[in-house]
Structure 1
């Protein structure tokens, strides 16, 4: 990313190939809308190119997911008519998809969490973002993020097992 920030835009396609599925999966788990996730994923990489000068040689993944979060939030705020606010977005199962039963139950349990808890679990457990990076993404401290993730996991466990 440092070379892209210096103007070597050909290298952006390497970053896209490596990370676009991670961004798409995060966005899809947050809004459960395939087309929206695809559109915002493209917007994220456009913004990476557009704001490349603001990259300060930190952890690229943290910077990228911060852009992804902000892009989704902006998009949902801009199109309030068609979408709920990010804090009110809930998981919706796609009728055409038939995930495994355990995964369906997990998605339904995740749906019952508040959006901030769901976002932390998706980034930490599904996207495997470490606590220090997650703290940068959400603008908090590493200790606070560890505590929030732990509490979110406890809530998820309760929800998951009460509906079995």
Structure 2
């Protein structure tokens, strides 16, 4: 069964073979978790949101129409993040909890850890849409074409948006270094 494409597996899930979801879960849970963790910088929230994605996959399995599965699941993840963000928007503070970075401190030098912390802080200063684009493209390694499907845009527009978001990140990053 592991040789089946994501799309073939999802079609079987849509037909009621829910046990096939374990294969997709194994393939995508870490990627979806990392996407959320880069967006919210909170391990427990990221775990909850990741679980919500797979619950939605089950709930909306009939709406899957043999398109690109990765684009479909990331669209679900984006929608869940958007709902989460709207819910906590008023409660959100600017305090960043540094000890929640998912970096193995024993393997990363203190200087490198400081750079990672600084990058995470700079990422959190970006708008959600800019941060989302950078996370999908640079951290999740999603191709421009797929990002365009996920956000409902075209590939060239996504390239421009990612370029501009990276430029903003660079400015924020280097403004606060010194």
TM range (shorter): 0.7 to 0.9
| Structure-2 change in CA distance of 1:89 and 1:48 (3 Å) | farther
The superposition leaves residues 21-74 of structure 1 with CA deviations (integer Å, 9 ceiling, x where unpaired) of: 111111111112222211111111011011111111111111001101111222
Q: What SS is found at the alignment partner of 2:54? A: helix
Matched, 1:157 2:166: no
Q: Which deviations, in whole Å up to 9, do the C-alpha atoms of 1:104-135 show, x marking residues without a partner?
A: 11111112212111110001111111111101
Paired residue for 2:96, among 72, 92, 96?
A: 92
- Aligned-residue offset at 1:6: 2.1
Aligned residues: 158
| Pair 1:73 & 2:76 matched | no
When normalised by structure 1's length, the TM-score is 0.86
Task: Note the C-alpha offset of 1:94.
Answer: 3.7
Aligned partner of 2:155 in structure 1 is 142
Q: Secondary structure at the match of 1:95?
A: helix
State the shift of 1:93 in Å. Answer: 3.2
Provide TM-score, normalisation by structure 2.
0.80
State which of 17, 22, 25 in structure 1 corresponds to 2:26.
17
Q: Which residue of 1 aligns with 2:122?
A: 109
Larger Rg: 2
CA contact (8 A) 2:41 2:101 kept: no
The CA RMSD over aligned residues, in Å, is: 2.1
| 8 Å contact from structure 2 (residues 36, 46) kept in 1 | yes
**Structure 1: gaps spanning 5 or more residues:** none
Instruction: Provide closer, same or farther for how the CA distance between residues 35 and 14 of structure 1 changes in structure 2, counting only shifts above 3 A.
Output: same
Could you tell me how far 1:96 is from its partner in structure 2? 5.8
* Other structure's SS at 2:89 match: coil
